[in-house]
Amino acid sequence: MKSNPLVSVCMITYGHEAFINKAIEGILMQQTSFNFELIIADDCSPDNTEAVVNKLLSEHSKANQVTYIRHKENLGMYENFLFALNACESTYIALCEGDDYWTDPKKLQRQVDFLEANLDYEVCFTNIKVVDTDDKLVKKQLIPSHRKTTFKQRHLPTWAPTLTRVFRNRDFSKAFPNVPGLDTIMLLYQSKYGKLRLMHDITGAYRLHEGGIYSAQTTAKQKQDVIATFLACMTLADRFLYLKYFGLMFKKLFEIKSMDNSIFKENRLVVLRAYHNYKAELSGSARFKVLLIRLILAFPYPKSSKRLNNVFLRLVDKLFIYDYLED
């Protein structure tokens, strides 16, 4: 390992034997004016990930920049991620999972240069493309070019591709709870320290495959996980954002209602319990908005009515969300 690395690249992996070579190569090809290290935390992969990594490192000229750790027992994604983060001791941390990869050799240099020059920013992320198992292009550009480039806590949640994030190192050991959308709540935690910056350059590839955690779930289950994540976000968010997060959860409830009634009922109860816990923190007008949406959610409607769906979603945006989108 090179001495005094400025950046620690954090890579968690599990069952990525078919992809991890490309992930490692994308990091080691980075052209930088500073030293960086790669820390790989293998969560006891059941396949040949370990053999693939060891073979690459035995042949690569930059193997001294890599620390490979394989757990003897499976910890789970949350614990493995925290383990990897806590192993990073550099000023900055960059993320890339073992099934994704970087495509731009100047990626790390540009992002670190930005953070070094802008101390009021905490995180810098970029655009990406989406590929399939065979590296065939699924989507050329994930984030639209017209999207804003500066984000504060009031603008969250926002889609910031995890595999492109570079951020200042903090004590993450007790920063966030174990929730499905760990990347979402992590960004909220970081927004307490500074702003977030989007660079529109496409610097990496997100891979869709059957082994991917998110790709393998049903749509209703994905939305249920989003609700769980938003509930956890409320424990970190500033009080003025509570109404926004309830609006976001109501939108997901409405979408689930047309997919799976049992999941809808279960999650409606969860959200209503949360509302009663936070009710005292909300203004009278905010409570009225929540009551209105609860009545609409309880009303039977044709599942196939796209027009009604769109009207409801626009109403929630207007009542709960639009006010937070302004700078």
pLDDT in tens, 22-77: 999 999 999 999 999 999 999 999 999 999 999 999 999 999 999 999 999 999 99
* Residues 145/148/153/155 CA torsion (nearest 10 deg): -80
Predicted confidence band of residue 267 (pLDDT cuts 50, 70, 90): very high
Helix (H) / strand (E) element for 203: namely strand 195-207
Cβ proximity of 265 and 220 under 8 Å? no
What's the chain's length in residues? 327
306-319 tens-digit pLDDT: 777 788 888 999 88
Distance CA 257, CA 264 (A): 5
- Mean pLDDT for the chain overall: 92
34 closest CA partner among 80, 84, 94, 87 = 94
Helix (H) / strand (E) element for 277: namely helix 261-278
Does the pLDDT value for residue 1 go beyond 60?
no
233-258 tens-digit pLDDT: 999 999 999 999 999 999 999 989 88
- What's the confidence (pLDDT) of residue 80? 97
Token digits for 310?
């769109």
Cβ proximity of 15 and 211 under 8 Å? yes
Distance CA 52, CA 23 (A): 12
53 closest CA partner among 79, 76, 27, 33 = 27
**5 upstream amide cis, omega within 30 of 0:** no
Distance CA 16, CA 35 (A): 26
| Exposure of 165 in the CB half-sphere (CA atoms within 13 A) | 23
Token digits for 248?
């976001």
Distance CA 122, CA 160 (A): 13
| 255 Cβ contact partners less than 8 Å away, ≥ 6 residues apart | 223
Of 23 and 213, more confident: 23
User: What pTM did the predictor assign?
Assistant: 0.92
Cβ proximity of 49 and 124 under 8 Å? no
Token digits for 222?
């994905």
Does the pLDDT value for residue 217 go beyond 60?
no
Distance CA 172, CA 178 (A): 12
Q: In angstroms, what CA-CA distances link 15 with 9, 80, 84, 98, 153?
A: 19, 14, 17, 9, 35
Does the pLDDT value for residue 171 go beyond 70?
yes
Architecture of domain 7-207: Alpha-Beta Complex (3.90)
Mean pLDDT of the region 137-144: 96
81-135 tens-digit pLDDT: 999 999 999 999 999 999 999 999 999 999 999 999 999 999 999 999 999 999 9
Q: In angstroms, what CA-CA distances link 13 with 8, 45, 228?
A: 16, 8, 24
Mean pLDDT of the region 147-161: 94
Q: In angstroms, what CA-CA distances link 76 with 83, 111, 180, 267?
A: 11, 30, 12, 24
